[in-house]
Amino acid sequence: MNYLTRPLLALLSAGAMSLYANAETHTFQLTSEIDKKHFFSYQITEVAFSPSSLSLKVDPKTDTFRDATTQLLVETDIPSSDQSTRFQLFMTGNTAQCFDIHKQTLITPADLVDVTVAEQPLTSSTPVLMHFNTTSNDLKSGEYDVILSFGALPTGSNLCQGQLSVLAELSL
């Protein structure tokens, strides 16, 4: 080895040593967040009538209440792009009770109120298959006209109260 090769070899060896001496380890902290609003569980999230309370007017010529209208509102977490999902609407309660001037109960017909939703009759024995007809925030929803039609009031009626309840169930 000549006298120039030795310092060059020593320099290369020192450089190789410095590469190992300057090696660094880096640790990266990784975090993630799960936004549950971006997951879809395919559920009906709300069913409501709007308005939810009605004051009825009597038609003195027919001795019954005039037809009343409200809207049924249905909201879901189903993406609006899903074309296959529909729902069934069940009537779970349709009760009415009339009272005389002394607040004594009168015999009130069980079918005092007929209910129509989106031009389809809704009864306790037959559910109605519905299609979602609107979207809200890119999610399926629905707004449906509800008409309440009334039969004859019991003789001597001074006050009548009633309640209507429905159940919505997805039909996949």
**Is residue 64 within 8 Å of residue 96, measured between CB atoms?**
no
- Residue 11 forms part of a structural domain: no
**Which of 25-29, 45-49, 87-91, 99-103 is least confident?**
25-29
- Residue 13 forms part of a structural domain: no
Mean per-residue pLDDT over the chain, rounded: 85
Supply the pLDDT for residue 33.
Answer: 74
Give residue-wise pLDDT tens across range 60-88. Answer: 888 899 999 999 999 999 999 988 899 99
Asked whether the bond before 51 is cis by omega within 30 degrees of 0, the reply is yes
Among candidate residues 90, 81, 70, the one with its CA nearest the CA of residue 144? 70
- Bridging pattern class, strands 120-122 and 64-65: unpaired
- Residue 21 forms part of a structural domain: no
- Residue 53 forms part of a structural domain: yes
Q: What is the DSSP string of 54-114?
A: ----EETTTTEEPPEEEEEEEEEEEETT--S-EEEEEEEEEEEEEE-TT--B----TTSEE
Separation of alpha carbons 64 and 99, rounded Å = 14
pLDDT over threshold 80, residue 98: yes
Separation of alpha carbons 93 and 157, rounded Å = 22
- Residue 147 forms part of a structural domain: yes
Residue type, 62: T
Separation of alpha carbons 11 and 94, rounded Å = 97
- CATH code of the domain containing 128: 2.60.40.2040
Q: Residue 161 is part of which domain span?
A: 36-171
Domain count, the chain: 1
pLDDT > 90 fraction of the chain, expressed in percent and rounded:
67
What integer is the mean pLDDT of 91-108? 95
pLDDT over threshold 50, residue 114: yes
Supply the pLDDT for residue 161.
Answer: 94
- Residue 125 forms part of a structural domain: yes
Query: 37: pLDDT confidence band, cut at 50, 70 and 90?
Result: low
- Residue 139 forms part of a structural domain: yes
- Residue 22 forms part of a structural domain: no
**Is residue 85 within 8 Å of residue 41, measured between CB atoms?**
no
Supply the pLDDT for residue 148.
Answer: 96
**Cβ contacts of residue 118 below 8 Å, gap of 6+?**
128, 130, 144, 145
